[in-house]
Amino acid sequence: MEKSFAILEGDGIGPEIMGEAIKVLKAVEDKYGHNFKLVYAPFGASAYFTHGSPFPEKTKNVCDEADFIIKGPVGLAVEEMHQIPQEHRPEHAAILPLRRRYDTFANFRPVKLPAGLKSFSPLKEEVIGKGIDILMIRELVGGIYFGDKIEGAATGMKFARDDCVYTDKDVRRVAIVAFEEARKRKARLTNVHKANVLATARFWREIVEAVAEDYPDVPYQSVLVDNAAFQLVVNPTQFNGVMLLENMQGDILTDQAGGIIGSLGLMPSACIGPEKGYVEPAHGSAPDIAGKNTANPYSMIGSVAMLFEECLGIPEEARDIWHSIFQIFEEGFITRDLVSPWQSNKKVINTSDFGDRVVQKVLKA
């Protein structure tokens, strides 16, 4: 297969975890005889300092021309972020514009913890039971993130307002993607919302439930977001299958999910639009450990696996990667983010060692 990828390394640990992900991508390319073209482009807070914008025009062109985009985490230390004017902060001037540009409405965030790796989780082993396997699907280009943001003053008081808007098209298309995924997995779909309070959530639930009628074979349940947060901790495996979330609630619960499986370093993601999309770790750029070769590259390498499976439709290549990663963990190796008092028998390896081991195993698989 011939494909071209824009590579946006991002900030902080971005370049080092991207380096490992690209090693793995190249191993897969060799093994399966693909032909991948990689074009690197600046993106994120450091791109603001070097190019005057966190999403420079040149990068937009590179992304437009590529088939897909592989993006690292973005953001620098607080003091440096404070030197960036609000209108050039990467969240508002790079990440949201990237999502909007390619209309990446479906954000897949898998939450995987096989039973054999129960000790990664801060939860009791009995709570993890048969293992966690949830695909969280977060709506990514609507809701409060993209509504009007207003700061003003009226009748002697200052105020700020964020509008939350969902159209029927926004909700229907992501609901269809979620039901299709649940059907593929022969799994249940849990629809998360706050319909007891918000108009947008009642609207969301109504449309999702109309879509559900076309999927009578997919077991469906609806849960309020506050209760979902509680249930995720006391009994996460009840959600094995697909969880569908709107943008803001999805942002929050996917971080919580990272905590439940033991590290945000275990959270890859794919952001899928009608024509193209991008993959990225769901976590930040961890500037405090940048350049130390200690970051966990799982989420970046896993994002490449998701690119193969969800974006390019080559699941065998993705399976090789997942299999290799989980084998490394099963052999007792972990990265520093997974160190905890209940994991003292594990062997800690660094970023590049982890990547090298994935490459070796992929080539042998």
Q: Tell me which residues touch ligand IPM (CB under 6 A).
A: 91, 95, 251, 282
Which two tokens mark 14?
Answer: 């971005």
Residue closer to Mn ion by CB (options 43, 145) is 145
Residue 95 binds which entry of Mn ion, ligand IPM, none, CB below 5-8 Å type-dependent:
ligand IPM
- Residue 184 burial class via C-beta count within 10 angstroms: exposed 0-12, middle 13-18, buried 19 and up: exposed
> Per the residue annotation, which of 3, 60, 215, 255 is the catalytic one?
255
Which 230-259 positions form the footprint of Mn ion (CB under 5 A)? 251
Q: How far is the CB of 45 from ligand IPM (least distance, A)?
A: 11
135 three-class SS: strand
Distances (CA, A) of 289 to 19, 54, 167, 284, 345: 16, 21, 41, 12, 23
Residue 353 binds which entry of Mn ion, ligand IPM, none, CB below 5-8 Å type-dependent:
none
83: DSSP letter: T
Alpha-carbon gap, residue 60 to 360, rounded angstroms:
34
Residue closer to ligand IPM by CB (options 111, 282) is 282
Residue 16 binds which entry of ligand IPM, Mn ion, none, CB below 5-8 Å type-dependent:
none
> How many residues bind to Mn ion according to rule CB under 5 A?
1
> Per the residue annotation, which of 194, 276, 346, 361 is the catalytic one?
194
Residue closer to ligand IPM by CB (options 282, 318) is 282
Query: Beta strand 106-114 with 268-272: parallel, antiparallel or unpaired?
Result: antiparallel
Q: Is 9 in the site for Mn ion (CB under 5 A)?
A: no
- Is 112 annotated in the active site? no
- Is 217 annotated in the active site? no
Residue 359 binds which entry of Mn ion, ligand IPM, none, CB below 5-8 Å type-dependent:
none
Q: How far is the CB of 134 from ligand IPM (least distance, A)?
A: 16
Hey, how many other C-beta atoms are within 10 angstroms of the C-beta on 144?
A: 18
- Is 255 annotated in the active site? yes
Which 186-205 positions form the footprint of Mn ion (CB under 5 A)? none
Which two tokens mark 164?
Answer: 């939350």
Residue with CB nearest ligand IPM? 91
> Per the residue annotation, which of 102, 145, 166, 220 is the catalytic one?
145
Residue closer to Mn ion by CB (options 67, 280) is 280
344 three-class SS: coil
> Per the residue annotation, which of 30, 64, 163, 226 is the catalytic one?
226
- Is 276 annotated in the active site? no
Residue closer to ligand IPM by CB (options 10, 56) is 10
Element (H, E) at 120: none
Report CA dihedral (53, 148, 135, 327) to the nearest 10 degrees: 20
Question: In the chain, where do the E strands start and end?
Answer: 2-8, 35-40, 68-71, 106-114, 131-139, 149-154, 157-162, 188-193, 220-224, 241-245, 268-272, 277-281, 333-334, 347-348
Q: Which residues are catalytic?
A: 145, 194, 226, 251, 255
